[in-house]
Amino acid sequence: MVFCCPLESDVYLRDWNSLALYDEVVPAFDVLGKKSFHLGEVGNGAKMKLVVNMIMGSMMNAFSEGLTLAGRSGLNPSTLLDVLDLGAIANPMFKMKGPSMLKNNYSPAFPLKHQQKDMRLALALGDENAVPMPIAAAANEAFKKARSMGLGDLDFSAVHETLKKPDHSS
């Protein structure tokens, strides 16, 4: 199986039972991307994809909260993007998604409904392996709220919209 990470088109995950077969075909696959990984038995590629997407979804929620907090506390969210890009937590997702989020542009690269599905499946994988995941669970709730707002077909970064209006229900 070949899975492509939605934000990083040059990372490919493959799961093959046979290391010999993997070694035989990897040169052809390496033309498609920068790095290949042998993940062992069939199914591990799907698990890896869920773990990566769970981390990505959790990070997007924290990033959205940071952008909102910066703006509401009188800081310039664009300046926050510049500061983040220079620090230890600089990453391509913030650099790529941040400017469009500030413009309320959520053209789908990875639809929010698929991100929420992967969060749900990752939480189930956590349950199966007795791994508590409170941060991922909170992120999943934010994606569910975004879906209930009709944002499921937009990019997963549209979860930012859930923070736009103060929620006085709590």
Q: What is the CA radius of gyration of the chain?
A: 18
Q: Are 20 and 122 in contact (CB under 8 A)?
A: no
11: three-class secondary structure by DSSP: strand
Determine which one of 34, 35, 49, 103 is catalytic. Answer: 49
Q: Are strands 35-38 and 11-14 parallel, antiparallel or unpaired?
A: parallel
| SS3 labels along 31-53 | CCCCEEEECCCCCHHHHHHHHHH
List the one residue out of 165, 135, 147 whose CA is nearest residue 59.
135
Ordered DSSP codes for 125-146 = HHHHTT---HHHHHHHHHHHHH
Q: How far apart are CA 18 and CA 73, in angstroms?
A: 55
Instruction: Give catalytic status of residue 95 as yes or no.
Output: no
One-letter amino acid at 42 equals V
Which residues are catalytically annotated?
A: 49
